[in-house]
Amino acid sequence: MFKKILSVLGSVVSIELLWINYQPEKILNSFQSSTIKNLDLRNYNTANELLKKEKPDLIFISPYESFIDLSFSYAAKSLKIPTAGLIYYQLTSGAKDGVRGFRLWKTYLKRIFSNYVISETEAKTSTFRRGRFILYKFNFFLKTIISTNFSFLKKISIIIFVLKLTLYPLHVFNKKLSLSLHLVQNKNIKKHLMENGVSIDTIKITGNPMFDDFLFDKNNFPKKTISKPINLLLLPLSFQDYGDWTKEQTSKIFKDIVTEISKNTHMILTIKLHPSASNYEQYKNILKTIDPKIKLFKEGSVEKYLHDTDIVITYNSWSTSSWFALFQGIPIVICNFFNFIDDEFLNRKLAIECKSYEDLNYSINEAITNNPATPEKVDQYVNDYFDILDGNSAKRISKEILTFFKK
């Protein structure tokens, strides 16, 4: 996304990207270039300190209830620095219906007691590693709010508001999280923001530059013919890493799927993990007990793995990887072994639902012979969720940013 935006903006104005990184420990070496300056958050006590020293013209941020995002959001308001962000999910803030109450608190406890952090590229474990990292981020937020020039009562109200958001996530966007410029993927998100008090002047429909190249490069859409043997791409989702599943659930669904497929000589399985939110070693160790020859990948985006794929298997459609598969017309099998509710692909009959590993072979054959994602259904889904798919989303975002500064 940023490569696309910076490429367009950089052709008009001089650009330097200050990329702020934060991990459980200080980062010893980071990439630097003439246009990218990597900063380690641990070199600063507060967001105010960083912003006063680096003096950015614009902060690109997410309007979500994250301690670091909110630290920079409030510091920006205090210092009168404008903020912008791309919003491409239907609900722009808050948890799903299924992750609330007792289950939500169980999720929090799992995260606190976890011994690893999902965003680390190397597998590092230590006691309460993730809990201590969460505490660091919360402490950074507190120090940032205290260091702002807001009144004492304003500071207290901000802290209470953020704690309430964290412990009891909302289903709707709260206008207190508003940015100076909201760049949104579709008109439904714009409507949602307006209904919740966000000024219409700050909302611009731009589309999503993540898909600019992919959707309009015809090489990404070769004519699909099912190969022999059938090439399957498994995309496990990291619900354990986010605290929604237990380790046992994560291992079981993965092991059941791989075991069932490995029995079939007419199927070749490839596995692509999320590049940051997944534990490579955990999956690798499971594969050793089934078939160590199965290819397992973590690095990079999913697009290049789809070229030779006949069927995509995943756990639900919440991931952008499912969108890429849908756009290519690749049949999708959703292994809903733990009864997720309200999956958009299943609701719209864009994928085959498999409720048990015993039915997996049947579901795969059904997807091959009768892909439910007809062109008409896909077009309707695209119209509802993407609005603009002309390959120019990055240009629109750049134009809106430049127009914003001219005003």
Q: What is the DSSP string of 233-297?
A: EEE---TTTTTSS-HHHHHHHHHHHHHHHHT-TTEEEEEE--SSSS-HHHHHHHHHHH-TTSEEE
Are both 234 and 346 inside the same structural domain? yes
Are both 239 and 152 inside the same structural domain? no
Are both 365 and 394 inside the same structural domain? no
213 found inside a domain: no
Domain span at residue 362 reads 219-385
Are both 108 and 147 inside the same structural domain? yes
Are both 288 and 141 inside the same structural domain? no
Are both 24 and 155 inside the same structural domain? yes
Find out whether 221 and 303 touch, Cβ atoms under 8 Å. Answer: no
Are both 231 and 314 inside the same structural domain? yes
Are both 249 and 332 inside the same structural domain? yes
Task: Please count the structural domains in the chain.
Answer: 2
At residue 186, does pLDDT exceed 60? yes
Find out whether 277 and 245 touch, Cβ atoms under 8 Å. Answer: no
Please report the pLDDT score of residue 99 as a whole number: 45
Tell me the pLDDT band of 96, cut-offs 50, 70 and 90.
very low
Cα atoms found within 13 Å of the Cα of residue 236, Cβ hemisphere only: 32
Are both 148 and 234 inside the same structural domain? no
Rg (alpha carbons) of the chain, rounded to whole number: 22
Are both 237 and 280 inside the same structural domain? yes
Please report the pLDDT score of residue 271 as a whole number: 94
pLDDT tens profile 316-327? 887 788 888 998
Are both 273 and 361 inside the same structural domain? yes
Q: Which long-range contacts (CB under 8 A, 24 or more apart) does 331-335 make?
A: 331/367, 331/368, 331/371, 331/373, 332/367, 332/373, 333/360, 333/363, 333/364, 333/367, 335/253, 335/257, 335/360
pLDDT tens profile 188-240? 899 999 999 999 999 999 988 888 877 665 555 554 667 778 999 999 876 64
282 found inside a domain: yes
Main-chain phi, psi angles of 217, to 5 degrees: -100, 105
Most confident range (mean pLDDT) of 112-126, 143-157, 376-390 is: 143-157
% of the chain surpassing 70 pLDDT: 86
Tokens 């309009």 — which residue?
216
Measured distance CA(400)–CA(181) in Å, rounded: 9
Find out whether 219 and 327 touch, Cβ atoms under 8 Å. Answer: no
Q: What is the mean pLDDT of residues 21-32?
A: 83
285 found inside a domain: yes
396 found inside a domain: yes
